[in-house]
Amino acid sequence: MPSPTLFSKQIGEAPNFLRGRSFLLEVDSSSPYEKAVRDFVDELLKDGCAVYILTHRSSPVYKLLSNMSSVTFYISTPTVSYPKKGAQQNEVLVPQNDSAINLDLISKAIGSSRGGCVAIVIDSISDMLISSSFEATYKFLKNANEVLGGQNVTSMFLSTRGIHDSKVIASIRSLFSEHLVSLPDGGAKLTKKP
């Protein structure tokens, strides 16, 4: 596997650009977008951040990054009703579509850093929209962005391009000041910043 490229360099920014920002990454599910997420995570780990990823086992992101023992994975599953230790040391099983529990886990992750750098990846908004409602997903994203609003907190939310109606995606985009799109080669491009 080729070595990952510094994510901030991929998107044409200085290395410290990522800190304290919340990104919406719109992905093309036919491209290897998980490589961009890996590069994002690698850069933040090298920067000393604690990294947490909310995902599911069948996700390309999980499949590529699951061997990273320094990352904590919150595995969304319909088989549990409360957070439970997963099969691996760095995994916690969490109830699918339970926004209150997910927000609590995010808040605790930030709190446990004691002022250090924290990175959160939410994979995937599209899954939430499909398995829940727009209203519930929008409320979760709005609340998550408030919880994640600290200077030492960096976040990335993934959404699949082309599967949501234009009003839904416009509403989701409105919650993020930084927008990225995945590229066919597995990289990412910054398309909007404040």
Q: Look at strands 71-77 and 84-85 and give their pairing.
A: unpaired
- As a whole number of Å, the CA-based R_g of the chain is 15
Of 43, 36, 2, which Cα lies nearest the Cα of 154?
43
State whether CATH 3.40.50.300 applies to domain 19-50+97-192.
yes
Domain positions in the chain: 19-50+97-192
Confidence of residue 178 (pLDDT cuts 50, 70, 90): very high
Mean pLDDT for all residues in the chain: 91
Provide the pLDDT for residue 5: 62
